C-alpha cells in the first residue's frame, strides 16, 4: 500500500487515533503515579585468586580459567549462605528478602563483579549492597581459613608422629671421655623432615592470620538520589508512542471493516461510471435546513465543487443536449437533495433559467432547503389531475387535426396548472415545483404519460430542469421516472454509501433505460487534496447570506406569479426566447453554442 493511502486511512480515523493516544497516555501517567518508587545501589568487588606461589596452595585453587572462576563466584555470591550472612548484618531482613533484593552480574572485566540491591528506601538499598559484598568476602575468607586449618591439623599430626619416631631413634649420650658414635642416617632424615614441617607450619599460620578471602571491595555502594524506572515525562512519551501504534492498528482494522466508498478510484471501479465531482460535507445544513452553501458562501469549497459538477454536465452536453436531469442515490442520507439544490443554484447563477422539481413524492425535502416551510400543492396535484381530453373517447370521424387540437388544449391546460404551482425563489432565475401532498401511488404517477407531458412543458419554459427523486434502492419511483427524464446522476456518500449498494445502484441505473451521466461523491474530504483551498482573500465589505429566505411570490392582478417563468416568450436563455431555443435544439450545432 502506498504512503498516501496510509495517510488517508489515518485522516479518516483521526479522532479514533487521537482518542487511543490520549487513553494510552492517561494510563501511562496513572501507572507511573501509582507505582512505589524503587531505589537501586551497586557495589563492586574485585576478585583476587590465589597466588600459586603461596604456601600450601593446591593446584585446584590456582586461577587458570578467568571465565569459569567468575561464573563460580557469581554462583557463590548469590548463594543462601552469603544471603544469610548479609541478613545477619541487616536488622529486620530475612535471608529470602536479601536474595530477592540483590542481583549479581559480571562487569566488563571478568575479575570484577557488581552487586546491585533494590529497595524502596535509598539508604537501605546501599546497606544491602554493601552487606552482601562484605558477606561474600567474609564467606570466602572463612572458607579458605577452614581449608588452611585442615592442612594445619594434618601437619600437626605428622609432626607428632615424627617427634615420637625421633625420640625412639635418638642415640644415647656417651660417657665422658668416650667418642661420639656416628649418627644414624634414619634419624638424621627424620629430623630433617621434622624441621621442614615445623617451618611449613609456621608459614601456614601466617597465611591463616593474613587471609583476606580472595576478593576486595573496590567501590562501595552510594545512596541513590533518584528512583529507578521510567520518569513521568518518559512514561508519557512511551505511552504516546505505544498509543500511536495502537491507534494506527485500530485505524487499519476499521478501514478493513469499513464497507463505505472511500476514493474516486474505488467508486469508478465498483460502478463502472465516471465521477463527475467530489463535494465536501455541508455541516451547516444539518443545523439549518434552509442553508445553501452556494448562496451563503459562493466562494467556498462546496460552491466551487457544485460549479465543477455543473461544468462536468455541460461538457457532456456538447454532443447531446442536456436540458433535464434527475438526481438520485442508493439510500437515504446520501445528500442527493442538497446536491440538487446547490446544482440548481449554480445553473441559475450562470444565467440559465432553472427549475427544481421535488419529485421525491414520499419524503420531499427540497422545499425546506429552498425556504418553503408550509406544505403547498405541487407535482402530485398536477399528475393526479387528468385532463378531460385524455379521458374522452375519440369520435369515429375524428381526424388528425382534431387530435392535434386536443393535444394542444391538453398542453394549455397543463401549462395553466403549472402556472399555479411553480414558485420563484430568492435566487434570480431559480424556480421550484413542490412535491405536494404524499400520494398513495407515487410510482404509478411518476411513470404515467402525464409525467412525460409535464417534463415536455417544463423544458419549453426553462433552460434546465433538475429533479430530486427518491433513493433508487429504497423504492421503485426513481427507476420508473428515469426513462422519462433521460439523464441521471447518482449521488454516493463517502461516509455512508456501502460498496455493495453502489454496485447495486450502478446495475439498476443501467437497466433503467436512461443515460447515466456519472457519480457525485458527496461528503468527501477535499482538504486531503492540495488544490482545495484556493479562494480569494476576504475584503473589507462583504455581504453574508445565511440562507435562502422563504419566497413570497406577488402575482400580477391579471397574471399568476409563475406565468412569467412559464411563458416561453418572456423567459430567455442567452438573450434568446426559449421558443427559439426549442427550435435550435433541432440543430445540434446551435444547441451546443
Q: Indicate the domain borders of the chain.
A: 1-36+229-258, 39-219, 269-389+402-531+559-591
The confidence band for 527, taking pLDDT boundaries of 50, 70 and 90, is low
- DSSP run (H or E) holding 329: strand 324-329
**pLDDT in the model for residue 105:** 87
Cell of 382: 398536477
CA distances, 551 to each of 240, 297, 311, 350, 358 (Å): 55, 20, 28, 21, 16
Label residue 204 exposed, middle or buried (CB < 10 Å: 0-12, 13-18, 19+).
buried
CA distances, 125 to each of 43, 102, 130, 215 (Å): 10, 9, 9, 22
pLDDT digits (tens, 9 = 90+) for 199-250: 777 776 766 666 666 778 888 889 998 888 777 888 889 999 999 999 999 8
Cell of 123: 539508604
| 476/494 Cα distance (integer angstroms) | 23
More confident residue, 336 or 557: 336
Cell of 375: 406544505
pLDDT for 197 beyond 60? yes
Range with lowest mean pLDDT among 97-106, 193-202, 387-396, 404-413: 387-396
**pLDDT in the model for residue 343:** 94
**pLDDT in the model for residue 244:** 92
Cβ neighbours of residue 479 closer than 8 Å, sequence gap 6 or more: 472, 508, 512
CA distances, 95 to each of 81, 88, 120 (Å): 9, 8, 18
Percent pLDDT > 70 in the chain is: 76
**pLDDT in the model for residue 211:** 62
**pLDDT in the model for residue 186:** 76
CA distances, 515 to each of 77, 480, 490, 506 (Å): 89, 14, 11, 12
| 154/126 Cα distance (integer angstroms) | 42
Which residue(s) pair with 219 in the sheet? 44
Cell of 489: 446522476
| 220/90 Cα distance (integer angstroms) | 16
| 134/126 Cα distance (integer angstroms) | 12
CATH no., domain 269-389+402-531+559-591: 3.40.50.300
**pLDDT in the model for residue 280:** 86
Task: Tell me the DSSP string of 523-590.
Answer: EE-GGGSTTTT--PPP-SS-----SPPPP----BTTB-TTHHHH-TTT-EETTEEHHHHHHHTTSHHH
What's the sign of the alpha-carbon dihedral 548, 351, 303, 328? Answer: positive
Residue of 590, 579, 319 lying closest to 457 (CA atoms): 579
Range with lowest mean pLDDT among 5-9, 24-28, 86-90, 543-547: 543-547
pLDDT for 540 beyond 50? no
More confident residue, 378 or 554: 378
**pLDDT in the model for residue 554:** 39
**pLDDT in the model for residue 547:** 41
CB 448, CB 390: distance < 8 Å: no
CB 273, CB 50: distance < 8 Å: no
| 341/351 Cα distance (integer angstroms) | 16
Report the largest interatomic distance among the alpha carbons of the chain, rounded to a whole angstrom: 196
| 73/67 Cα distance (integer angstroms) | 10
pLDDT for 19 beyond 90? yes
**pLDDT in the model for residue 315:** 92
- DSSP run (H or E) holding 439: none
Cell of 585: 435544439
Residue of 509, 505, 488, 383 lying closest to 446 (CA atoms): 383
**pLDDT in the model for residue 251:** 87
| 387/417 Cα distance (integer angstroms) | 10
| 577/582 Cα distance (integer angstroms) | 9
pLDDT averaged over the chain?
77
Q: Which CATH architecture has domain 39-219?
A: 2-Layer Sandwich (3.30)
End-to-end Cα, the chain, rounded Å:
46
Cell of 263: 476514493
Query: Burial letters for 286-311: b for 16+ Cβ neighbours within 10 Å, e otherwise?
Result: eeeebbbbbbbbbeebbbbbbbbbbe
The confidence band for 312, taking pLDDT boundaries of 50, 70 and 90, is very high
pLDDT for 394 beyond 70? no
User: φ and ψ at 476, to 5 degrees?
Assistant: -95, 5
pLDDT digits (tens, 9 = 90+) for 562-582: 444 444 333 333 333 333 333
> What is the distance, to the nearest Å, from the Cα of residue 291 to the centroid of all Cα atoms in its chain?
32
pLDDT digits (tens, 9 = 90+) for 48-81: 765 544 555 544 444 456 677 778 888 888 888 8
- DSSP run (H or E) holding 196: helix 185-209
CB 88, CB 7: distance < 8 Å: no
pLDDT digits (tens, 9 = 90+) for 154-182: 877 877 877 777 777 676 555 555 444 55
As a residue count, the chain comes to 593
**pLDDT in the model for residue 526:** 66
CB 104, CB 114: distance < 8 Å: yes
The confidence band for 352, taking pLDDT boundaries of 50, 70 and 90, is very high
| 351/1 Cα distance (integer angstroms) | 46
Amino acid at each position: 500500500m502506498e504512503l498516501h493511502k496510509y495517510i488517508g486511512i489515518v485522516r479518516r480515523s483521526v479522532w479514533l487515533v487521537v482518542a487511543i493516544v490520549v487513553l494510552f497516555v492517561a494510563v501511562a501517567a496513572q501507572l507511573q503515579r501509582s507505582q512505589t518508587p524503587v531505589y537501586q545501589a551497586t557495589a563492586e568487588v574485585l576478585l583476587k585468586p590465589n597466588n600459586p606461589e603461596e604456601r600450601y596452595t593446591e593446584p585446584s585453587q590456582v586461577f587458570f580459567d578467568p571465565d569459569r572462576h567468575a561464573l563460580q563466584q557469581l554462583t557463590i555470591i548469590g548463594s543462601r549462605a552469603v544471603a544469610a550472612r548479609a541478613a545477619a548484618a541487616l536488622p529486620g531482613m530475612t535471608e529470602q528478602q536479601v536474595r530477592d533484593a540483590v542481583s549479581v552480574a559480571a562487569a566488563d572485566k571478568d575479575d570484577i563483579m557488581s552487586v546491585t540491591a533494590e529497595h524502596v528506601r535509598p539508604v537501605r538499598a546501599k546497606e544491602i549492597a554493601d552487606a552482601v559484598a562484605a558477606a561474600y568476602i567474609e564467606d570466602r575468607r572463612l572458607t579458605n581459613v577452614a581449608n588452611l586449618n585442615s592442612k594445619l591439623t594434618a601437619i600437626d599430626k605428622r609432626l607428632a608422629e615424627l617427634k615420637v619416631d625421633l625420640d625412639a631413634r635418638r642415640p644415647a649420650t656417651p660417657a665422658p671421655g668416650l667418642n661420639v658414635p656416628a649418627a644414624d642416617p634414619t634419624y638424621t632424615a627424620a629430623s630433617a623432615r621434622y624441621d621442614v614441617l615445623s617451618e611449613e607450619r609456621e608459614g601456614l599460620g601466617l597465611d591463616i592470620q593474613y587471609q583476606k578471602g580472595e576478593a576486595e571491595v573496590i567501590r562501595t555502594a552510594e545512596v541513590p538520589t533518584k528512583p529507578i524506572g521510567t520518569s513521568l515525562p518518559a512514561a508519557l512519551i512511551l505511552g504516546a508512542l505505544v498509543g500511536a501504534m495502537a491507534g494506527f492498528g485500530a485505524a487499519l482494522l476499521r478501514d478493513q471493516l469499513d464497507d463505505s466508498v472511500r476514493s474516486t478510484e474505488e467508486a469508478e471501479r465498483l460502478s463502472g461510471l465516471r465521477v463527475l465531482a467530489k463535494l465536501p460535507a455541508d455541516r451547516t445544513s444539518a443545523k439549518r435546513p434552509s442553508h445553501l452553501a452556494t448562496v451563503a458562501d459562493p466562494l467556498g469549497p462546496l460552491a466551487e465543487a457544485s460549479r465543477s459538477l455543473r461544468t462536468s454536465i455541460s461538457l457532456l452536453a456538447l454532443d447531446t443536449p442536456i436540458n433535464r436531469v434527475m438526481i438520485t442515490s442508493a439510500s437515504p442520507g446520501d445528500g442527493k437533495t442538497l446536491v440538487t439544490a446547490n446544482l440548481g443554484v449554480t445553473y441559475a447563477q450562470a444565467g440559465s433559467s432553472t427549475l427544481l422539481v421535488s419529485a421525491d413524492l414520499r419524503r420531499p425535502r427540497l422545499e425546506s432547503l429552498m425556504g418553503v416551510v408550509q406544505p403547498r400543492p405541487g407535482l402530485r396535484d398536477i399528475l393526479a389531475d387528468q385532463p378531460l381530453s385524455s379521458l374522452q373517447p375519440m369520435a369515429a370521424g375524428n381526424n388528425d387535426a382534431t387530435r392535434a387540437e386536443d393535444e394542444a388544449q391538453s398542453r394549455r391546460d397543463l401549462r395553466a396548472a403549472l402556472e399555479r404551482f411553480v414558485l420563484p425563489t430568492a435566487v434570480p432565475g431559480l424556480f421550484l415545483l413542490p412535491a405536494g401532498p404524499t400520494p398513495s401511488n407515487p410510482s404509478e404517477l411518476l411513470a404515467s404519460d402525464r409525467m412525460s407531458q409535464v417534463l415536455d412543458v417544463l423544458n419549453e419554459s426553462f433552460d434546465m430542469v433538475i429533479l430530486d427523486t427518491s433513493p433508487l434502492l429504497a423504492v421503485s419511483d426513481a427507476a420508473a421516472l428515469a426513462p422519462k427524464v433521460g439523464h441521471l446522476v447518482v449521488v454516493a456518500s463517502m461516509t455512508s454509501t456501502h460498496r455493495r449498494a453502489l454496485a447495486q445502484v450502478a446495475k439498476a441505473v443501467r437497466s433503467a433505460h436512461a443515460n447515466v451521466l456519472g457519480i457525485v461523491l458527496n461528503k468527501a474530504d477535499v482538504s486531503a487534496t492540495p488544490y482545495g483551498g484556493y479562494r480569494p482573500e476576504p475584503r473589507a465589505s462583504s455581504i453574508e447570506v445565511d440562507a435562502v429566505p422563504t419566497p413570497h411570490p406577488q402575482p400580477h392582478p391579471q397574471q399568476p406569479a409563475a406565468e412569467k417563468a412559464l411563458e416561453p416568450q418572456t423567459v430567455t436563455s442567452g438573450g434568446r426566447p426559449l421558443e427559439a431555443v426549442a427550435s435550435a435544439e433541432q440543430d445540434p450545432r446551435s444547441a451546443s453554442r
